[in-house]
Amino acid sequence: AQSVTQPDIHITVSEGASLELRCNYSYGATPYLFWYVQSPGQGLQLLLKYFSGDTLVQGIKGFEAEFKRSQSSFNLRKPSVHWSDAAEYFCAVGITGGGNKLTFGTGTQLKVEL
Amino acid sequence: DAMVIQNPRYQVTQFGKPVTLSCSQTLNHNVMYWYQQKSSQAPKLLFHYYDKDFNNEADTPDNFQSRRPNTSFCFLDIRSPGLGDAAMYLCATSSVAGGQYFGPGTRLTVT
């Protein structure tokens, strides 16, 4: 069965600093990988996705993620964090085939200090 | 803009009183999902529809039911809400090969 690990439950960064959120997955086949962001009381917004091809994926809001098959990782990065980036971030792996079911990690809560 | 809409955004119901949450989409996606999310937890899939085919997760309580009368709409029925069912309920859609797109959620309170 597939699984996703987000080792950092909470991360605090200063505004303007760089950010990297870690995600490791376990899946027997080629994974579909996603990063979502959730602001308090809101639904999840898709930041970016990896299906195949270029391993460096660009997303919305200046985020990018790099797929590293050898490390089973899909870390999310942003070169300069804004206060509005404070939110919860979820990494997910998709099951190929009918249904596109997602398995989510437990999330990383990002706090941005001004 | 194409989107996923959930109504109501906030729902208060009494213990044991049936409640229905609704979801609509303008994305014309053939797959629709219902998730339950409790505080500080990841979303938990309850069930999904692939077109009209209903797929229930093995650990979804019988208390939760769903209906999808057409491509655009999907409903979540909670037959006898308990205090433990208080949560955010998220609807999502996807095309066959795409990522999932979520609505804003309905916050359910059980009194």
Q: What's the pLDDT tens digit per position in A45-61?
A: 999 999 888 899 999 99
What pLDDT was estimated at residue B37?
94
What pLDDT was estimated at residue B97?
67
DSSP A62: G
Determine whether the interchain pair B99/A41 forms a contact, defined as Cβ–Cβ distance below 8 Å. no
Determine whether the interchain pair B102/A100 forms a contact, defined as Cβ–Cβ distance below 8 Å. no
Q: What backbone torsions phi and psi does residue A26 show, to the nearest 5 degrees?
A: -135, 120
Q: Smallest CA–CA separation between B8 and chain A, in Å?
A: 13
Q: Which residues in chain A are closer than 8 Å to B6, comparing Cβ atoms?
A: 43
B10-13/B106-110 β-pairing:
parallel
The span from the CA of A84 to the CA of A96, in Å, is 33
For B48, the closest chain A residue by CA position comes to A99
**pLDDT tens across A20-30, in order?**
999 999 987 77
* Residue A41 confidence (pLDDT) above 90: no
Nearest to A46 among B41, B96, B101 (CB): B101
Q: What backbone torsions phi and psi does residue A52 show, to the nearest 5 degrees?
A: -170, 175
* Residue A98 confidence (pLDDT) above 60: no
Report percent pLDDT > 90 for chain A.
Answer: 75
DSSP A30: P
The two most distant CA atoms of chain A are separated, in Å, by 45
Report percent pLDDT > 70 for chain A.
Answer: 96
B interface residues, A as partner, C-beta within 8 Å: 4, 6, 31, 33, 40-43, 45, 48, 50, 55, 88, 90, 92, 94, 96-105, 107
Average pLDDT over every residue of A14-35: 92
Average pLDDT over every residue of A86-109: 86
Closest Cα partner for A94 from A8, A25, A7, A10? A25
User: Is the bond preceding B61 in cis, omega lying within 30 degrees of 0?
Assistant: no
What pLDDT was estimated at residue A13?
97
Q: Which stretches in chain B have pLDDT values below 50?
A: none
Average pLDDT over every residue of A69-98: 91
A55 neighbors A68 (Cβ within 8 angstroms): yes
Which 3-state string (H, E, C) describes chain B? CCCEEEECCEEEECCCCCEEEEEEECCCCCEEEEEEECCCCCCEEEEEEECCEEEECCCCCCCEEEECCCCCEEEEEECCCCHHHCEEEEEEEECCCCCCEECCCEEEEEC
For A4, the closest chain B residue by CA position comes to B42
The span from the CA of B104 to the CA of B38, in Å, is 15
- For B71-81, b/e burial (b = at least 16 CB within 10 A) is bbebbbebeeb
Determine whether the interchain pair B101/A36 forms a contact, defined as Cβ–Cβ distance below 8 Å. no
The span from the CA of A75 to the CA of A6, in Å, is 9
Determine whether the interchain pair A94/B99 forms a contact, defined as Cβ–Cβ distance below 8 Å. yes
Q: Smallest CA–CA separation between A13 and chain B, in Å?
A: 20
What pLDDT was estimated at residue A99?
58
Q: Return the SS3 of A70.
A: helix
What pLDDT was estimated at residue B1?
67
